[in-house]
Chains A and B, each alone.
Chain A
Amino acid sequence: MTTDRGDGADVEAADRDNGAGDRDGAGDRDEAGDRDEPGVIERRLHPVTPLRRAWAPVAVLAGWAVHDPSQAQQQLTKLTTTMLLAGLAVLLPAAALYGFLSWWFTHFAVTDTELRIRTGLLFRRTAHIRLERIQAVDVTRPLLARLAGVAKLKLDVIGTDKKDELAFLGEDEARALRAELLARAAGFAPETAHEVGEAPARELVRVPARVIALSLLLIGATWGSLLTAVVVPPLVWLGTHSLWTVLAVAVPLFGGAVTSSAGRFVGAYDWTVSESPDGLRIDRGLLDRTHETVPPGRVQTVRIVEPLLWRRLGWVRVELDVAGSSNSVLLPVAPRGIAESVIARVLPGVTVPDASLLVRPPRRARWCTPVWWRGHGIAVTDAVFAARHGLLRRRLALVPHAKVQSVRLTQGPWERVWRVADVHVDTGANKTVTARLRDAEEAARLLRAQAERSRTGRREARPDRWMQR
């Protein structure tokens, strides 16, 4: 549902009163039943927003200076103070005007079934997002935004490349809007959706900072990036004796090392998973706080990742795939038992199959994948299809039968020789879970049976509007 309106005249008029222009956009829905749609109230973002946009030209300049330092220095020495001041006098008002205009022309409104975002100064864009199709709602508060008391609201919708976001809103407003969006998406009556408010949340897990730090120290990637950052720059210095080259190599390396260690720690700090009727809440972050909400029934696959060095401690990481969002971690690190109990909340009625239940490929599969064939294994229960792979870093992927979109069996010539085949299970989050190197006959049976289960599994699934029975 996208409508474009070129005339800007109603934009000013639409502020805070019933958007007259929006009526015609809703015309086709009136016939569909809700004839008495109350006036849609359009709102603007928080007045602090222009400041964010105003930084853009400055950031471009800074980026150019960093990109080409020697030339930037030459240009700078040529400039006189007056020219500099004159430039600033032009640039800053222009940036401020741009920020102000883009803020002025951005509106949003919540109707009974949609969130409408209207934006754009020259190229108008109107997005109508259907609420029952929302896959996840995030409220993020970057550090500077926290100081200013504002927050960003991001929505995951299927089929959009990037998240639609409302930046920035007042903190209370963002929270109220999230509650309202979720209440409407859950199917509460439109009149009451305003007052439903935030669903009560019950804390399931809080990951201690000590555990997060220790878990990061036990990952090879952390040490790998730190080691390269320490070793490579001296080697480059020995090779070239050029300070600029060393800096150009060292800065990104150190940046990478810091992101992969301290950055991950800061991002995962105070990781809390709680449960509410609106779905799972994930709150995390030390400097930038993020509050994610995944409504029930949206999770397509769950993956349990077990790095080699965590195995002694019995720790795992849990990741989940939701259609429309790229990748999200449910639990950065947790003991296996707790992780499994959280998974049971995410996928109701699902128990994680025990490692002993996973069936390995037949022994002859070693001719296809020499040592690693031992890492593969599958298990099928009433509720999920589970496939594990990896020998050192084990990954167990779980797909509820109801979320399977299609099933494929593939067999290459070499696999044919050894009478093995692969079974792929495609899910809606564009993730495919593969059971590799199964016995050919078993694979054929699995293919038929999985198609049958994915069809019948849907019957017990919850409706899109999870509060409607």
Chain B
Amino acid sequence: METGSLDDGRAAGDEPGWTALPPGLLRMRRLLLVVWLGPLALAVGVLLGALAGPVWSAFALLPLALLGWGWVLLGRNWRSWRYAERADDLLISRGVLWREETVVPYGRMQLVEVTSGPVERHFGLATVQLHTAAAATDATIPGLDPAEAERLRDRLTRLGEARSAGL
């Protein structure tokens, strides 16, 4: 097949150096999970125990189980996120069950955005988002260190200018 002809030599050569996300994002997400589900479990246990009898308070195990499950899922999801800055394009790979891998050539970037909400800011995190002329392009890297996010933004902008191609 023709598809193999162009890359066979190269892909092996510059197989990218993947960068994983810093642990801050995982910490923030797990903390949020505990903050929401912990009190819920407590409330369910206390209320049911007081109103319907101590056996019923076993229902508090439900939110607790959810918490444990979410704890593992968040960890898996966080581990699946990674990105690579190659010579000419940016690679982003993510997802455990639903895997997705995105390649954006630097020359196609229209704008690079760094955002950081109040919770993210509190944990010292920032999100980098790339926009191309296609709205379907979904290139977002969450949970970066702000300094790293800014470095990435500046580098991507510089590379984008150097290789600019537009539409």
List A residues at the B interface (Cβ < 8 Å).
158, 300, 323, 359, 379-381, 402-413, 416, 421, 424, 426-430, 432, 442, 444-455, 458, 461, 464
Closest 6 pairs between A and B when the two form their complex, measured CB to CB: A426-B134, A428-B133, A405-B134, A451-B103, A406-B137, A405-B132
- Residues on B with C-beta less than 8 A from A379 are 2
Instruction: List A contacts of B101 (CB < 8 A).
Output: 408-410, 444, 447
Sorting the interface of chain B by its residue count into under 10, 10 to 19, 20 to 34 or 35 or more gives: 20 to 34
The answer to whether A445 and B3 touch (CB under 8 A), given A409-B101, A455-B88, A455-B107, is yes
Closest residue of A by beta carbon distance from B10:
A452
Q: A453–B1 contact, CB under 8 A?
A: no
Query: Of the 9-residue stretches B51-59, B74-82, B92-100, B150-158, which lies at the interface with chain A?
Result: B92-100
The minimal Cβ–Cβ distance linking A160 to chain B, given in whole angstroms, is 14
Residues of chain A within 8 A of B138, CB atoms compared: 408
- B131 CB to nearest chain A CB (Å): 10
The complex places the Cα of A424 from the Cα of B107 at a distance, in Å, of 19
Q: In the complex, how many angstroms separate the beta carbon of B156 from the nearest chain A beta carbon?
A: 13
Residue B4 interfacial (CB < 8 Å): yes
> In the complex, given contacts A410-B100, A455-B107, what are 20 additional A-B residue pairs having Cβ atoms less than 8 angstroms apart?
A359-B1, A404-B108, A405-B108, A405-B134, A406-B139, A407-B102, A408-B100, A408-B102, A408-B136, A409-B102, A416-B99, A428-B133, A428-B134, A430-B134, A432-B134, A448-B7, A452-B7, A454-B105, A455-B163, A464-B166
8 contacts between A and B (CB under 8 A): A300-B167, A405-B108, A405-B133, A428-B134, A430-B135, A448-B7, A451-B103, A454-B105
Which residue from chain B places its CB closest to the CB of A442 in the assembled complex? B3
Cβ A407 vs Cβ B103 within 8 A: yes
Q: How far is the CA of A449 from the CA of B139 in the complex (A)?
A: 19
A459 to B124, CA, bound (A): 41
Q: Is B111 an interface residue (CB 8 A)?
A: no
Contacts A405-B133, A410-B100, A412-B98 hold; do A458 and B1 have CB atoms under 8 A apart? no
Distance in Å from the Cβ of A153 to the closest Cβ of chain B?
22
A446 nearest CB neighbor, chain B only: B3
Q: Using an 8 Å CB-CB cutoff, how does the interface string of B114-135 with A read, 1 for contact, 0 for none? A: 0000000000000000001111
Q: Is B35 an interface residue (CB 8 A)?
A: no
Task: Assess the A410–B99 pair: CB atoms within 8 A.
Answer: yes
B1: chain A residues within 8 A (beta carbon): 359, 442
Is B43 among interface residues, defined by CB-CB distance under 8 A?
Answer: no
B162 within 8 Å of A by Cβ?
A: no
Q: Does B32 contact A (CB under 8 A)?
A: no
Q: A426-B132, A432-B136 are in contact. Are A406 and B99 (CB under 8 A)?
A: no
Which residues on the B side are within 8 Å of A380 (C-beta)? 2-3
Which residue on B lies nearest to A413, using beta carbons?
A: B97
Give the residue of B6, B98, B107 whose beta carbon is less than 8 angstroms from that of A453. Answer: B6
Residues of B35-65 whose CB lies within 8 A of A: none
Select which of B2, B97, B167 is within 8 A of A428 by beta carbon: B167
CB pair A323–B105 under 8 Å, yes or no, is no
Query: For A424, what are the chain B residues with a Cβ–Cβ distance below 8 Å?
Result: 136
Min C-beta distance of B123 to chain A, whole Å: 29
Evaluate contact between A448 and B103: CB separation under 8 angstroms. yes
Cα A300 to Cα B132 with chains together (Å): 14
* Chain A residues, Cβ within 8 Å of B6: 449, 452-453
Report the minimum CB–CB distance from A297 to chain B (whole Å): 9
Interface residues of B in 1-21 (CB under 8 A from A): 1-4, 6-8, 10-11
